[in-house]
Amino acid sequence: MTCRKRAGFDEDYFYAGFVGSFRSWQGLDTLIKAINIVRKQGYEKIRFILVGNGDPLEQFKEMVKAYGLGKETIFTGRVKYEEVPILINCFDVCLAPFKKERNAKIGLSPLKLYEYLACGRPVITSRVEGV
């Protein structure tokens, strides 16, 4: 059984995904704006999977709703750590849209990148020091 079947995702789509805590420094607001740009370009066979939880979750869901991205964006909520590699392996590309403001103040822990790369997935990330 493929990871996508196991996770309940349609095999016919290209998946870009994020796994992590939903915090302001993760750059998910910027990612949602980028999802809107991708949709406006006419890409219909792409889905964005956002795995995790955190205080701004409802704000991010409202952004998705305001842009009309409900079809393109899947919020899974928090998952068990043992399930993270299964979800990462569903992704065609992993996303790490870090904000440079936090990195400049306290540094960056690129653990997310290591998890993505350990699963052998390509990564799109922000241009920030340490990444």
β-sheet with 46-51: strand ranges across = 73-77, 46-51, 14-19, 93-96, 123-125
Q: Evaluate whether the domain defined by 10-125 bears CATH number 3.40.50.300.
A: no
Interatomic CA distance for residues 56 and 7, integer angstroms: 25
Length of the chain: 131
pLDDT digits over 77-90, tens only?
999 999 999 999 99
Domains in the chain: boundaries: 10-125
Interatomic CA distance for residues 111 and 126, integer angstroms: 15
Residue 34 has pLDDT above 80, yes or no: yes
Residue 120 has pLDDT above 80, yes or no: yes
Please answer whether residues 97 and 16 qualify as being in contact, where contact means their C-beta atoms are separated by less than 8 angstroms: no
